[in-house]
Amino acid sequence: MKIQSKLTAFILLLLSSFSYSEIVNDTRNLDQVTRIMSFGDSLTYGFRLDRDVTYSAQLGNILGVPILNRGRNGLTTQQALGSNGHISTSLREMPNPQIVIMTLGGNDIMNDRRRTNQIKNNMRSVFQAFQDRGAMVVFAAIDPVSNWRRLNNPIGFLLPALWGNYYSELESLANEMGVVIVPRVMTDIWGNQNLTIPNDSFHPNASGHQVLTDRIYNVLANHLPNGNGSTLPRTIKIEAEDFIDASNDTSRGNSGGACTNPQFPDVDFERTSDIGGGCNLAYVQAGESIAYQVNIEQAANYVIKLRAASIRNSRARVLIDGNNHGQMTTNARGWQSFDSIQAGASINLEPGTHTIKIEFLDDDFNLNYLTIQASN
Ligand SMILES: [Ca+2]
Ligand SMILES: [Ca+2]
Ligand SMILES: [Ca+2]
């Protein structure tokens, strides 16, 4: 068995180096993709490696597009989120990435396996934060179960128990959210002394990053423009404060005191502590409404999501070009605990200008932004 698995590993290596040389000659047209970010933990950062051998650098060379490496050693999902979290600071460096390649979640599992549900919820918010900026998220997922026996690590034997169902749950989350997944990206790297840095057996060395590069590219290639797969999903984001009409506010003046619009001085906005900062619509009363204009370039099916928060379950109705599109209800998680919640089913929108009107059916509805995302 042992010899067989070594042989399998050797064949896998041969295969991966073969396809790697093919990739270098790839002449895929990437004119439309100029902003790529890699994001996440030490696997992305390239723990103890020179900057030019990380998967980000290698993949950037292949694609002919430099990749902004926003990896940080030890990063957890908690540290990624929040108004000053690693996502916010990364999005200040590259506000509208077209592709975000990501490794994340491993540190959470190691630190506290009991919070698997919390970690999954955090991952949902992490994916959403980048999708809300219009990015295609490519998630390089780790499944340790097949690798742990070869880990030169005192807690290696704990890993299968630590991970539990986490991998399959993340896989279904990614599928549900339209995140592109690179499956089991660390298989045969962990515990392989030829592919990991000395006295570590966990963090990939330059050759390990070459294998990562290959695995990520093989998945990514199907989603690039002029590739054989789908083109980049495009998400349009409209800030709540960028409205065109909000003439029926029920209280005099801006009760939130921020982002006041001189044309509509009664609309209520306050500073938000959600990802990205700015303002959210606040002090909403039932019967108020607010309207937006969106310019659609490509005919497609689109999903409308409202980035909303409340202390109760408050309903809003969405109208597109005057027609009822459907409702959504906020989660009652707190005034600044925002979730992106879909209103209605997907809708086919033709190129041109459309209006999206939001009618509030209940009091107490904070709105940070809305997204119009092409769905498959
Ligand atoms: Ca007001
Ligand atoms: Ca109001
Ligand atoms: Ca906002």
pLDDT of res. 193: 87
Using the mean position of ligand 3's atoms as its centre, give its distance from the Cα of residue 69 in Å.
Answer: 27
- Residue 31, H or E segment: none
Q: Which ligand is nearest to the CA of 367?
A: 3
Phi then psi dihedrals of residue 329, to 5 deg: -130, 135
Phi then psi dihedrals of residue 148, to 5 deg: -65, -30
Task: Look at the block and give the residue holding tokens 């009363």.
Answer: 285
pLDDT of res. 142: 86
Question: Do 191 and 255 have their domain in common?
Answer: no
Using the mean position of ligand 3's atoms as its centre, give its distance from the Cα of residue 368 in Å.
Answer: 4
Using the mean position of ligand 2's atoms as its centre, give its distance from the Cα of residue 191 in Å.
Answer: 58
CATH number at residue 280: 2.60.120.260
Query: What spatial distance separates the first Cα and last Cα of the chain, rounded to whole Å?
Result: 43
- From the list 128, 77, 358, the residue with the least C-alpha distance to 244 is 358
229 lies in some domain: no
Question: Do 104 and 199 have their domain in common?
Answer: yes
Q: Which ligand is nearest to the CA of 251?
A: 1
Residues 100-105 have a mean pLDDT of: 96
Mean pLDDT of the chain: 85
Q: Which ligand is nearest to the CA of 264?
A: 1
367 lies in some domain: yes
Distances (CA, A) of 98 to 18, 137, 231, 233: 29, 9, 11, 9
pLDDT of res. 158: 65
Q: Which ligand is nearest to the CA of 253?
A: 1
Instruction: Of 114-128, 174-188, 214-228, give the lowest mean pLDDT range.
Output: 214-228
DSSP 116: H
- From the list 321, 316, 301, 330, the residue with the least C-alpha distance to 358 is 316
**Residue 225: pLDDT band by 50, 70, 90 thresholds?**
low
Residue 374 pLDDT > 80: no
Question: Do 255 and 120 have their domain in common?
Answer: no
Q: Are 238 and 292 in contact (CB under 8 A)?
A: yes
**Residue 114: pLDDT band by 50, 70, 90 thresholds?**
low
Give pTM, 2 decimals.
0.63
Question: Do 63 and 155 have their domain in common?
Answer: yes
The CA distance from 207 to 221, in Å, is: 21
Question: Do 172 and 247 have their domain in common?
Answer: no
46 lies in some domain: yes
Residue 79 pLDDT > 50: yes
Q: Which ligand is nearest to the CA of 275?
A: 3
Task: Look at the block and give the residue holding tokens 């009618």.
Answer: 359
Percent of the chain with pLDDT over 70: 82
Residues 320-347 have a mean pLDDT of: 95
pLDDT of res. 155: 60
Using the mean position of ligand 1's atoms as its centre, give its distance from the Cα of residue 269 in Å.
Answer: 9
Give how many domains the chain has, as a whole number.
2
Question: Do 104 and 210 have their domain in common?
Answer: yes
**Residue 187: pLDDT band by 50, 70, 90 thresholds?**
confident
**pLDDT tens column, 115-159:** 778 899 999 999 999 998 889 999 999 876 555 555 655 566 666
228 lies in some domain: no
Query: Going along the chain, which residue ranges are E strands?
Result: 36-40, 67-71, 99-103, 136-140, 180-182, 235-239, 269-271, 279-281, 289-296, 300-310, 315-320, 323-329, 334-342, 347-349, 352-360, 366-374
Question: Do 180 and 306 have their domain in common?
Answer: no
**pLDDT tens column, 83-98:** 899 999 999 999 989 9
**pLDDT tens column, 15-61:** 333 333 233 323 333 557 889 999 999 999 999 999 999 999 999 98
Question: Do 215 and 246 have their domain in common?
Answer: no
Using the mean position of ligand 1's atoms as its centre, give its distance from the Cα of residue 249 in Å.
Answer: 6
Angle between the 2-24 and 206-220 helix axes, to the nearest 10 degrees? 70
352 lies in some domain: yes
239 lies in some domain: yes
Q: Which ligand is nearest to the CA of 306?
A: 3
Q: Which ligand is nearest to the CA of 260?
A: 1
Question: Do 259 and 142 have their domain in common?
Answer: no
Using the mean position of ligand 3's atoms as its centre, give its distance from the Cα of residue 13 in Å.
Answer: 48
Question: Do 248 and 218 have their domain in common?
Answer: no
pLDDT of res. 29: 39
Query: For residue 200, what are its two tokens?
Result: 């570590």
* 178 vs 245: which has the higher pLDDT: 245
Question: Do 49 and 193 have their domain in common?
Answer: yes
Residue 227 pLDDT > 80: no
Residue where a domain stops, chosen among 223, 244, 278: 223
pLDDT of res. 134: 84
Residue 14 pLDDT > 70: no
- From the list 72, 138, 64, 57, the residue with the least C-alpha distance to 99 is 138
The CA distance from 142 to 20, in Å, is: 21
Using the mean position of ligand 1's atoms as its centre, give its distance from the Cα of residue 366 in Å.
Answer: 13
Residues 211-224 have a mean pLDDT of: 87
230 lies in some domain: no
Domain of 259? 235-374
CATH number at residue 109: 3.40.50.1110
**What residues flank ion ligand 3 with Cβ within 5 A?**
239-240, 278, 368-369
Question: Do 58 and 170 have their domain in common?
Answer: yes
Residue 258 pLDDT > 70: yes
